[in-house]
A and B are shown apart, each in its own frame.
With several copies, the nearest count.
Chain A
Amino acid sequence: MEITVLLFASVAERAGTRRFTLSLDEPATVGSARDAILAQYPSIAPFVPNLMYALDEEYVREHDAVTPHSTLALIPPVSGG
């Protein structure tokens, strides 16, 4: 299946991209998708321990399932306000 991946802030800068399509074997979880992203962009490894994840604009956890055509966002620690 294919999903859309969004990167932001420090992670987007390090990876050199903000948005790409990722192919995943089914079934997939947030964790397995994260591992596939890391394989493709190993430079972001240092950021991973601090990341949160959002699937279709909802915060999710690593063991949550990823569905086809969904959008997975890697969320660095937020600093708005």
Chain B
Amino acid sequence: MLIRVTQEILDPAEAIASVASPRAGAINVFLGVVRDNNLGRSVNFLDYEAYPSMAEKVMREIAEESVSRFGFEDVAVLHRTGRLEIGETSLLIAVSSGHRAASFDGGHWLVNEIKKRVPVWKKEVWADGESWVEGPEALGMRGPSQS
């Protein structure tokens, strides 16, 4: 089970190799990527901060829960921190599974739980300012840092 919070570039090939299993018929990989816009506003780059040791602990708990819920052969969860440019990968997950349906359903569940529970925060930086994005999907749950 590959679990990592890192400032280094995330490599999908490493995550895929880490979940390989002769019993797996399906591998699902998800990359959360920095988009050039959010809520209609143009984004220059993102700055990710984590509570790294707790983030890895929670990522491992979620990964282990996904194995028992979805019967995965193996799981990899990697989150990058620091400054990320448009197009760079902030979150990388890979799951291996006997069959494809569980790989899609469980992969989606895993990403949702990571976004809900792992202590990581992102700051959006625009041409004319910046703001911590706080809360799920940054929709209606922003903290008072929003100005």
Q: Footprint of B on A, CB under 8 Å?
A: 6, 8-10, 13-14, 46-47, 50, 54, 57, 73, 75-81
Contact = CB atoms under 8 A, between A and B. Distances in A.
B75 interface: no
A80 B141 CA distance: 14
A79 B144 contact: no
Given A77-B134, A81-B32, A8 B116 contact: no
A81 B110 CA distance: 11
Interface of B: 32, 48-51, 53-55, 57, 79, 90-91, 111, 114-123, 132-136, 138, 141-145
Nearest to B122: A79
Contacts of B57: 57
Nearest to B132: A10
A77 B55 CA distance: 14
A80 B143 contact: no
Contacts of A14: 145
